[in-house]
């Protein structure tokens, strides 16, 4: 009969964010048939018994375990890819209907440099034999289409020059568009799309400042939580706050798979750019170190790999 502490340890290693491979190997490698039988009896959340008293894996738990075992593999594969290919593949996956995630496209279009976005577009050509622009246009059929095509097509000026008069004028344009959102969806406003998809990030940050002076609250505070426009504005104007929020959401208990996978994506894609600043922002916003939250929430090789990545250049 399996020891209770071994059953508990094995159950814990099977149920979490990632799996505890070392515990699984240590326990399963020495178990005999009678110990397996007591484990199956003692874990009704993993095994179900049919009307013939046959104990079998719960299908939902098999699906869950396949996802959890794959997290480490997926993180390693993404990390070893050229960043342009990684973004191309993430964009393609984000466009598949059952996996559609606008936020992935927004991150790629709005937080990469102009050269990095151009590189991702070149990689997309190479890997899929057509352009990211045409796939975005054909897969996104709702009101976000024009904005997203414009964002992935952008090649922004990256110098420091900002015209203050123009930024004040465009802050007013955005203010008027958001005030009249009940009459016309701002994401369908050509001027809103033009400003967000063509202006440099320093220019947009100046707009952000003037908008607060005009409206007494920030641009993203005026936008609906979960909306594409809010994610676009945050990625362009306050990316550290954006990534801190995405990571925190991914590390909450009980969240869906689409929310969870963002943990791998953000850690892998930001590890060599601004992870140090994201960690500082996370600690400021949530009162806990990101590394500590990952230690508490994830398991096994997946946990160790994430911690290694976020400590690079710390």
Q: Is the pLDDT of residue 272 over 80?
A: yes
- Give the pTM: 0.91
What distance in Å separates the CA atoms of residue 306 and residue 59, rounded to the nearest whole number?
A: 28
**Closest listed residue to residue 270, CA positions, set 248, 243, 230, 296:** 243
Report pLDDT digits (tens) over 129-177.
999 999 999 999 899 999 999 999 999 999 999 999 999 999 999 999 9
The conformation of residue 60, written as its DSSP 8-state character, comes to H
Q: What percentage of the chain carries pLDDT values higher than 70? A: 96
- For the chain, domains (ranges, CATH) are 4-57 (1.10.220.10), 82-151 (1.10.220.10), 156-237 (1.10.220.10), 240-310 (1.10.220.10)
**Closest listed residue to residue 155, CA positions, set 105, 106, 108, 113:** 113
What distance in Å separates the CA atoms of residue 99 and residue 120, rounded to the nearest whole number?
A: 20
- pLDDT of res. 42: 66
With bands split at pLDDT 50, 70 and 90, how would you rate the model's confidence at 45?
low
Report pLDDT digits (tens) over 88-118.
999 999 998 777 889 999 999 999 999 999 9
């Amino acid at each position: 009969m399996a020891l209770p502490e071994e059953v508990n340890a094995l159950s814990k290693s099977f149920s979490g964010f990632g799996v505890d491979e070392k515990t699984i190997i240590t326990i399963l490698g020495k178990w005999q048939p009678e110990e397996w039988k007591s484990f199956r009896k003692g874990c009704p959340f993993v095994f179900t018994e049919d009307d013939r008293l046959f104990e079998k894996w719960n299908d939902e738990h098999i699906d869950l375990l396949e996802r959890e075992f794959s997290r480490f593999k997926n993180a390693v594969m993404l990390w070893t890819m050229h960043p342009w290919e990684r973004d191309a593949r993430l964009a393609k996956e984000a466009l598949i209907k059952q996996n559609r995630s606008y936020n992935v496209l927004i991150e790629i279009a709005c937080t990469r440099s102009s050269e990095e976005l151009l590189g991702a577009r070149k990689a997309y050509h190479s890997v899929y034999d057509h352009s990211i622009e045409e796939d975005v246009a054909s897969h996104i059929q709702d009101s976000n289409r024009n904005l997203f095509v414009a964002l992935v097509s952008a090649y922004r000026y990256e110098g420091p020059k900002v015209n203050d008069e123009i930024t004040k004028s465009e802050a007013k344009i955005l203010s008027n568009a958001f005030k009249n959102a009940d009459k016309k969806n701002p994401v369908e406003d050509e001027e809103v799309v033009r400003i967000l998809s063509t202006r440099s990030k320093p220019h947009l940050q100046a707009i952000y400042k003037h908008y607060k002076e005009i409206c007494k609250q920030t641009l993203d505070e005026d936008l609906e939580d979960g909306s594409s426009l809010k994610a676009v504005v945050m990625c362009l104007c306050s990316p550290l706050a954006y990534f801190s929020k995405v990571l925190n959401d991914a590390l909450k208990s009980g969240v869906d798979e689409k929310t969870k996978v963002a943990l791998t994506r953000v850690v892998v894609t930001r590890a060599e750019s601004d992870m140090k600043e994201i960690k500082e922002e996370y600690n400021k916003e949530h009162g806990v170190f990101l590394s500590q939250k990952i230690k508490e929430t994830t398991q096994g090789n997946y946990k160790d790999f994430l911690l290694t990545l976020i400590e690079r250049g710390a």
